[in-house]
Structure 1
Amino acid sequence: MSGGRAAASAPKSGERLEWIDAAKGLGILAVVVGHVWTRGAVRDAVYAFHMPLFFLVSGYLFRPKPTVAFVRAQMATQGLSYVLWLALLVAADVLIEGARGHRPIFHDWPGDVGRIAFGGSELRGPFTVFWFVPCLIVARIVCNAIGMRWGDPRSWAWVAIALCSAAFAYGVGAMTDVSPLGVLTVPMALVLLWAGWLWRGVAWQPWMWALLLPIGAGVLTFGPPLNMKAGDYGWPVASIIGAAAISFVIFRIARWPVLGSAPVRWLGAASLTVMYLHVPLVHYLSPYFGKGVLLAIAVIVPVATHYLLDSNKVTARLLLGK
C-alpha cells in the first residue's frame, strides 16, 4: 500500500477549495441545530456525524510539515485564539449572569482557574464545545509527526496505527469521560484525520452513492448519537463508519450549485467563530426566544462577528488565527 496518488491530488498550499467551505457550512449548521434542538430525532441524527465531519475535513486538507514549525504554527494560531475566546466568554458569563442575578458558572476564584485550564470535560454550559479545538490541535500534531515518518496514508504502517488508535479510543472511552483539554478524543480524532487524508486520494465513482447512502441512512435512522467529547462513539466501529459515510456524501453534495452557494460557503469560512459563539448565544437567549429564532440568531450573529473581526488585522490574527 504505497505510492503517490494521494499526494498528487493534494490541494496546493494556501489554495482554498470552495466545496470545502460549503461542506463546513453544512456541517456547522448541523452543529448549531443539534445545540438548539437538544433532544429528539433531529438532535440524534445530527449527533451521528456532525463532529466527525470536521475532523475528516481537517484530514482531507492535511499536508505533513516539519514538526517544530508545525507545532509552533498550531500554538500561534488556533492555540492562541482558543485561549482568547475562552477568556472572553468566561468574562462575558460573569457579566451576563451577574446582570441577570444568577451565579456565573465559574465563581470560585482563584480555584476555578484550574478548572478553566483543565478545559475539556470541565467546560460545560456555554463552554461545552471548547473541547474541540485543543483536541484537534493535539490530534493534528500527532498526525503530522506520524505523517513526517510515513507520508502515504495508504501505507500499512498507517493502517496499523489507525487500527491501534481506534482500539485505544474505544477502550479508554469505555473507562472514563474525564478529558483534559479534550485529549480523551484524540485517538479517535487521529483515526478520522487519517481517513480524511486517505479519502483525498479517492476518485469519486457513481457506485459510491449505492454504498455510502444506505450506510449513512442506516446510522441516521437506527444508530445511537455520538458524544465524542465524552469518548462515546456509538456502536463500535459501525457508528464511526456511518459518520464517515454521511460526511463523504456531504463532501460530494457540497459541490452542487445550490448547496455550495455563496451563503453556505461564507458560513463554512466562519465555522470556527460560529463554533465558539453559537452555544453561548443559545444558552443565554433560550429563555426568551423560540427554536427557530434561536437558530437564526446563533448563525447570523457569529457569522457577522467573524467578518467584522476579519476586517481588522489584529483581531483576525488574535481571534481568527490568521
Structure 2
Amino acid sequence: MVKHVLHRDASIDVLRIVAIVAIVVGHVWFEPPVRLATYTWHVPIFFVLSGYLASSLGFGELVRRRGQSLLLPYLAWLVIIAAILVGFDDPLRLLAGGAQLPRELNAFWFVTAFFVAIVAAAAIERLRLGWQWLIAAGLLTAAYLTSEVIALVPLDAGVGLACVVFVVAGRTLRDMQSRIGHPATTGAAMLAVSAALIVSGASGPLDLKHGDFGTPVVSVVTAMLISGGLILVVGELLAGIDGRAGEFISRLSLCGFMVVLTHSAVLFVMREAGVHEWGSFGVALVGPWLLAMLLLFTPLSLALCGVPRRAVAPRAAEKPAPHGIGPPRHSFSSD
C-alpha cells in the first residue's frame, strides 16, 4: 500500500486539539462557568476552520471525500457503540441524529451537521462573498425563527444549514488576512471583546446540538470573534513549529475525530462505574486518543478515524492559500 505524505499547518492542528479538549470538558462539567468558557466557541470553530482553509476540490469530489472522512467513521462508531451499549431496538432513533440520540452517542449530532454545512457552503462558494453572507444570514434567521424544532430535523441538517454562517465567516477571514497588519494584536483584541461580551452577560453560550444559537446575533458574532481571534493569535505564535513537534501535533490532530465520536460513550461507562469527574475526563480524553494513534497506522484508519493510513510530514505554518488554490485542507482530516 502506498502511503501518502500530508503537509499540515501545525497552528491549525493545535486549535483543533484545544477545541476537542474543550468539547470533552463541556461534557464532563456542566457548571455555568464551564459553559460560558467553552460552549460559545468549541464547536463553531470547526465550521470557521472549514471555511478558512482553502480547497481545490470540485463539488462532487468534496462530497465524496467528506463522506469518507466524516460519514464513514460516523456509521462505524454508531454501529460499534450501539452494539455494545445501546442496542438496535429503535434503529430509526439511532439514525435521526442530534437531540434524538441516546446519551452515549450525544456527540454524534455534530458529524452530520458538519457534513451538511460543508456541502451547503461548497454549493455557494463561487458566489460573491456578499451573496454568501446574505444566504447564510437567511439560513441563520430561519433557525432563530424555528428554534424549537430545528434540532428535531433528521440528521441535524437544520443545524448544519444554520452553521453555514460560520463557514462563510472563515472564508471572510481568509480573504481579509493579507490586509491585517498585526494579526496577533488584532486577534488578541477580538478575544478581549469576546470575553467582555461573555462576562457582561451580553452574549450567552450556544448549544448547537439543541438548535440554541444563544443571544440572537450577539452569540454568533462572539463565536466568530473567538474563532477568528484564536486563528490569528495561534497562527502567529506557532508559525515556526516544524520537525518532530510539528509531526506529533499533526498526528494528535488527525486522531481527534475519533475522540469526538467516542468520548461520550466512555464518559457514560465511567459515570456508571462511579468514577470521579477528573478520572472520567482523563480516561475519555486519553483513552480514545491513544487508541486512535495506533489505528492511524492500520487499514482501519479511514473507517474509524476518518483518515487514510499515511505518513505525516509537517512543515512550518503558512498563510492560507488564495481561494481555490493549494492543497485541500479541511477540519479533522485532509485528503
What range describes the TM-score normalised by the shorter chain of this pair?
Answer: 0.7 to 0.9
In 2, Cα distance between equivalents of 1:282 and 1:162 = 35
For the pair 1:280 / 2:265, whether they are aligned, the reply is: yes
- Look up the equivalent residue of 1:236 and give its one-letter code: P
- Scaled by the length of structure 1, the TM-score of the pair is 0.82
For the pair 1:81 / 2:66, whether they are aligned, the reply is: no
How do 1:182-201 and structure 2 match up within 5 A?
182-201=156-175
- Look up the equivalent residue of 2:106 and give its one-letter code: T
How do 1:228-267 and structure 2 match up within 5 A?
228-255=208-235, 256-257=237-238, 265-267=250-252
Show the counterpart of 2:328. Answer: none
Cα pair distance change 1:217/1:289, threshold 3 Å: same
Match of 2:136 among 142, 146, 162: 162
Cα pair distance change 1:197/1:126, threshold 3 Å: same
- Look up the equivalent residue of 2:112 and give its one-letter code: P
- Report Cα offsets for 1:183-229 as digits up to 9, x if no partner: 12122211111111221122244452464133210243223221101
- Look up the equivalent residue of 1:226 and give its one-letter code: L
Point out where structure 1 has 5 or more consecutive residues left out of the alignment: 1-12, 94-104
In 1, Cα distance between equivalents of 2:207 and 2:188 = 28
How do 1:138-157 and structure 2 match up within 5 A?
138-147=116-125, 149-150=126-127, 155-157=129-131
Q: Is the 8 A contact 1:44 1:224 kept in 2?
A: yes
Identity among equivalent positions (%) equals: 27
Q: Is the 8 A contact 1:26 1:264 kept in 2?
A: no
Q: Secondary structure at the match of 1:302?
A: helix
Richer in helix (by share): 1
In 1, Cα distance between equivalents of 2:293 and 2:280 = 20
Match of 2:152 among 149, 153, 178: 178
- Mean CA deviation greater in 266-275 or 241-250: 266-275
Match of 1:54 among 46, 60, 83: 46
| Length, aligned pairs only | 291
Q: Secondary structure at the match of 1:48?
A: coil
- Look up the equivalent residue of 2:172 and give its one-letter code: L
Shift of 1:264: 5.5
How do 1:1-322 and structure 2 match up within 5 A?
15-63=7-55, 65-93=57-85, 105-106=86-87, 109=89, 112-147=90-125, 149-150=126-127, 155-203=129-177, 204-206=180-182, 208-209=186-187, 211-221=189-199, 222=201, 223-255=203-235, 256-257=237-238, 265-286=250-271, 287-312=273-298, 314-321=299-306, 322=308
Shift of 1:64: 5.7
Point out where structure 2 has 5 or more consecutive residues left out of the alignment: 309-335
Q: Is the 8 A contact 2:188 2:229 kept in 1?
A: no
Q: Secondary structure at the match of 1:244?
A: helix
Show the counterpart of 1:98. Answer: none
